Amino acid sequence: MPTFNPPSDQIQYQAINTIRTLSMDAVEAANSGHPGTAMAMAPLVYLLWNQHLNFDPADPIWPNRDRFVLSAGHASMLLYSMLHLTGVQSVNEKYETLGQPAVSLDDIKNFRQAESKCPGHPEYRWTSGVETTTGPLGQGLATSVGMAMASRWMGAQFNKPNFDMLGFNTYALCGDGCMMEGISNEAASLAGHHKLSNLCWIYDNNRITIEGNTDLAFTEDVATRFIALGWNVTRVGDANDLHMINRAFEVFHNEEHRPTLIIIDSHIGFGAPTLQDTAEAHGSPLGEAEIRLAKRNYGWPQDEQFLVPDAVREHFAQGIGERGAKARNAWIEQFKAYKSYYPQLADQLYKMQHRQLPDDWDAKLPTFEPDEKGVASRASSGKVLNALAEGVPWLIGGAADLSPSTKTNLTFDDAGTFSIEQPGGRNFHFGVREHAMAAIANGLALCKIRPYTAGFFIFSDYARPSIRLSALMEIPVVHIFTHDSIGVGEDGPTHQPVEQLASLRAIPGLITMRPGDANEVVEAWKVIAKLRHEPVVMVLSRQNLTTLDRTEFAAAEGLSKGAYILTDADQGDPDVILIGTGSELQLCVSAYRELKAQGINARVVSMPSWELFEAQPESYREQVLPPHVTARVAVEQASAFGWERYVGQAGDIIAMNTFGASAPLSELQSKFGFTPEAVADAARRQLKKTGKAAA
């Protein structure tokens, strides 16, 4: 544990005030932002980074570094100040340090401006040293739980006698807003259950939100709540008391069986006692007059802006700089020896950290024989997932209390269950906590594990904010959702997803997949395994899907292009195109056979992924959907929203325009028009419009 150096000289106070004044000046220059928390929490963050955080600014992606998450993302200048003052280096997509600062002083001067590395809220992949994108309150806390779980899992996976390769701590700084959001309680409950003693949340208890004092809406006893959740709770009564803050960190380091919550009482904008409205200071620039008064109170030159004394830079270089470099270099030397003793594990660790696949990762993937009765895509996916997980040892995950229904349990030998007793287990039980589950998966992925989550498709609504962030961060989380349509049947409209596909397709950077048979499921998982930056939503059926005979139909590998010609007119261009996804692909096939018997030239296009299709060259897209063939029918047991781009304004869409109903599946299919006859009738109507109706 680091040794605390008491503030026997002024350099520590000078460093703290540098953080404060940089934050004030940046917000003032931008005329936008939140200076209060950055000012109040400067002593805490200074002490954490310079004396406790196991982090090397010269190598901010070193695998065993401690993680710092600013869940109170509106206080972003607090983090940007630390990245600048500690000299954190910029890293590119090839994991190379670039010899330039992650955050320059010019970036700080251009806080919240275009192209600055200091956007309004911290963004992963945009600014090196930012461990996760934060902004929506509570997200950082839940993500930090995933990081703590990753540390524990990787330690169990890779550590050997005399080789403690992985076992980092995770710190997250939050505020009252984070504590109010439900996701934080979901995540805290799971962290307490798993006794994540490597997790430390720091709660800035300043009792202020945008609308005013927290007494307006938040009067609970936070400490008692967390004790009930199984946390160790300690308190610091003054945010400026470095001795008590250090003592709180010592309590965390000594705790072996519980996560730790440090409650720090503070005042927004502490050190600027002339502030009249603390709520306003929370979310607004202070103004030139207030800044001058605050700087005078700090003993700071009142006319200086963005002042960084050389002594402060040197102080951080002698603190976290030297300490972090020593720890990181020792780890590198240890890894060299580790490769000699455990070459297979060393290779796995390297490939995992670089998002590479093991050799022969796909050796056990199955092929499904033609079967008219078929199998539900949730069931075929479960088989493929197990085969893939055997080939990719860091593919881990679980469900929101639904693994028996989603078929996502890993059942091969030694898969195990992640628990206190078995930290290397690969099956995770998240409980009924969809939102926290998705955010925790983000934390796992940010540590380079390949995670998957699972649940019923209707409950993607609960996970959607975290799914959106996985797309924004460009991290390859896999979200498996089953019970994908009105096929849920008797459970009724509360459990029948209608609008969810459209809403997820609207998220930039997210790939949605709705495979139409078991072999499309195999190909979907092949695509997923190779992704490095794109999250995926896999949408799977409860009802059986016919396994198509691929000697009669095109190979399922066409899925990799998002859409492909499944079967076509015998000669020449088709007169009508039928487009289907998921269980509705079979309706298109049946309608195609009826039309063919009537002498109608039809084409069936399987379109499991809009996003993959849109990524193809225009020439391929026009080959699949020729512009001159305007008679088109799309079939999907979900909202019609968006299908116009593929069928045109004149095309027909057999989809859901209302919520579903409670009834057996066969009755619902007839009620809402999902039958082969309805698809064939729609095709004939399209042909009549174009004047190509069969004689």
d(CA 202, CA 688): 68
H or E stretch at 592: helix 584-597
Q: Which of 28, 181, 186, 434 is catalytic?
A: 434
Q: Which residues contact 688 (CB under 8 A, 6 or more apart)?
A: none
Burial of 420 (0-12, 13-18, 19+ CB in 10 A): exposed
Strands 427-429 and 395-399, sheet pairing: parallel
Beta strand spans in 619-667 (E): 632-639, 652-656
- What DSSP string runs through 245-280? HHHHHHHHHH--SS-EEEEEE--TTTT-TT-S-HHH
In order of 91, 123, 129, 315, 562, the CA distances from 324 in angstroms are: 17, 23, 14, 14, 46
In order of 348, 350, 407, 466, the CA distances from 130 in angstroms are: 25, 22, 35, 17
Strands 450-456 and 395-399, sheet pairing: parallel
d(CA 324, CA 52): 10
**What six digits make up the tokens of 333?**
């030397």
d(CA 124, CA 221): 33
- Closest Cα partner for 266 from 43, 65, 436? 43
d(CA 400, CA 398): 7
User: For 416, phi and psi rounded to 5 degrees?
Assistant: 65, 175
The order of strands in the sheet holding 67-70 is 67-70, 170-174, 199-205, 260-265, 232-236
Phi-psi region of 106 (alpha: psi -120 to 50; beta: other; left: phi over 0): alpha
- For 224-236, the three-class secondary structure string (H helix, E strand, C coil) is HHHHHCCCEEEEE
In order of 238, 378, 501, 519, 605, the CA distances from 582 in angstroms are: 58, 11, 12, 12, 12
| Residue 614 is a catalytic residue | no
d(CA 495, CA 484): 9
Residue 281 one-letter amino acid? A
Residue 479 and residue 467 in contact, taking contact as beta carbons nearer than 8 Å: yes
Partner residues linked to 170 by β-bridges? 67, 199
d(CA 681, CA 668): 18
**What is the SS3 assignment for 579?**
strand
Q: So which residues are the catalytic ones?
A: 434
